[in-house]
Amino acid sequence: MREQELIVYKDFSDGQLLKDMVCLMENYDRPDADRESLRSLFYKCFHELLELAGHFGFYGNLWHCYLSNLLVNNENSYSMACEIVGEVEGTINDCVLHDIVIFKELYDYDFSDMVKTLGIDDFGLALDYTSSKRESKVYNTRVCSRIVDLAKRFNENDTPREMKKTLTAFYKDYGVGKFGLHKAFRIVHTDDGANIIPITNIAHVSLDDLVGYEDAKKKLIDNTEAFVKGRVANNCLLFGDAGTGKSSSIKAIANKYYEDGLRIIEVYKHQFEDLNDVIAQIKNRNYKFILYMDDLSFESFEIEYKYLKAVIEGGLEKKPSNVLIYATSNRRHIVSEKFSERGENLREDEIHFGDTMQEKLSLYNRFGVTIYFGAPDKKEYDRIVLELAKRAGLDVDEKKLLELANKWELSHGGRTGRTAAQFINYLKGTGNV
């Protein structure tokens, strides 16, 4: 086998198993082979395939799933060029075909003589594996199914050229690596800089789940659609009362526009120093990225907002066209101001008082689109309760339901969409009507 001759597909994160399996393929039938050492290595590989099944949620032919996963996650010049846009031209295609010939040999390898020679009777379990349905630690069910399905489609390809075409189509439809397979991400700071980590359990919320706020949702949709379609779009601030659906709306657009190449990266204000590093990692990808900042606000003594201002507008390097910033906040003016700051004490201490105030206000002004989410009045709150009860299938007298809902909101934070949803969940869970 020739895995060391790979040109484009190299440096796999889970590549040791591949090297060990190739070692077995090349040495198991040599007259001078150490059968016991090879048996030990084989069972080590067998164990790792089963561990990968549990880790990733794979099922079926685990060897095929493993190879498919290597190809799906290898971010190289070809795979990143093909993500979202599909086939590319040039010599790179011949180089990739050279590699796929090798992968096709690995994919079609017949283990029957190896297991017979080494006296291993149970490897068939790894070639027809039934999953325990336990939650994957890496992929959600949707992502796992796509990789397993790719492994099955490879099995139907008779030639390396067909296999390459299938793989390229996968890159176009789903992308490559973590950005291709996942919708949402968070940032972990390491000694080497910012590490962008997938979030595998993002809530499957849609904009239709948010009752009301039609004008606000349309404004958000219009800006986001312009962005994903490559038109001019603005950074966006969703502000207003707590519990009105600001964060849910951001999650909903992550779900709605995933197939169009939209990805969400969650950023907290203590991570703003990593923003330039994050942008450097994503600016040359074929996806659209929203840097999402939830519940954004700064006290008067906090200076992290200055990093954000520089990223939004004002640095020497132009912000990439595939990056926008969406933030939610319970207050319109994100940087806190105090009445004392407008008093005589500040004027005595601060020579350029007006400049200081303008700096604090300028962060808000750098969001080109601002969308207000206000708490509903009683009529709108009642409509939200009735609609959520209908969706939940609750058979309750309307008058009684609204009486209970209004009692609930008095002791649970007031009239908001969140309060209404919590009330309906309470009725569903307890049956106390």
Structural domains in the chain (count): 3
Let me know whether 240 and 176 are in one domain: no
Round to whole Å and give the CA distance between 315 and 142: 39
Contact criterion met (CB below 8 Å) for 127 and 63: yes
CB atoms within 10 A of CB 181: 22
Domain span holding position 80: 3-181
* Residue 397: predicted pLDDT: 84
Q: Which of 181, 215, 234 is the last residue of a domain?
A: 181
The alpha carbon dihedral of 376, 378, 383, 385 has a sign of: positive
Round to whole Å and give the CA distance between 141 and 123: 25
> Which CA distances in Å does 152 have to 61, 148, 262, 327?
9, 6, 27, 41
Let me know whether 74 and 196 are in one domain: no
b/e code 34-45 from CB counts within 10 Å (16+ = b) = eeeebbebbeeb
* Residue 101: predicted pLDDT: 96
One DSSP character per residue, 137-198 reads SS--HHHHHHHHHHHHHHHH--SHHHHHHHHHHHHHHH-SHHHHH-SEEEEEEETTEEEEEE
Let me know whether 155 and 216 are in one domain: no
- The single residue listed with the structure tokens 């407008």 is 342
Q: Which residues are CB-neighbours of 336 under 8 A, at least 6 positions away?
A: 297, 298, 299, 300
Backbone angle region of 194, left / alpha / beta, with phi > 0 → left and psi within -120 to 50 → alpha: beta
Query: Which CATH number covers residue 278?
Result: 3.40.50.300
Q: Which of 163, 181, 199 is the last residue of a domain?
A: 181
Let me know whether 46 and 147 are in one domain: yes
Let me know whether 218 and 338 are in one domain: yes
Round to whole Å and give the CA distance between 402 and 65: 53
Contact criterion met (CB below 8 Å) for 183 and 254: yes
* Residue 179: predicted pLDDT: 93
Let me know whether 335 and 197 are in one domain: yes
Let me know whether 388 and 295 are in one domain: no
Let me know whether 149 and 220 are in one domain: no
Round to whole Å and give the CA distance between 325 and 311: 9
> Which CA distances in Å does 335 have to 174, 212, 329, 341, 359?
39, 29, 10, 13, 9
* Residue 254: predicted pLDDT: 92
Round to whole Å and give the CA distance between 421 and 433: 15
Let me know whether 408 and 383 are in one domain: yes
Let me know whether 155 and 215 are in one domain: no
Per-residue pLDDT 10s for the chain (433 aa) are: 678 899 999 988 888 999 999 999 999 999 998 999 999 999 999 999 999 998 899 999 999 999 999 999 999 999 999 988 889 999 999 999 999 999 999 999 999 999 999 999 889 999 999 887 666 677 888 889 999 999 999 999 999 999 999 999 999 998 999 999 999 999 998 888 899 999 988 778 888 888 888 999 999 999 999 999 999 999 999 988 888 889 999 999 999 999 899 999 999 888 888 888 999 999 989 999 999 998 887 666 566 666 677 777 655 566 789 999 999 987 665 655 454 545 545 445 554 445 554 555 566 677 889 999 988 889 988 998 888 888 888 888 888 888 888 889 888 878 888 888 888 888 888 866 6
Let me know whether 129 and 208 are in one domain: no
pTM as predicted: 0.82
Let me know whether 281 and 335 are in one domain: yes
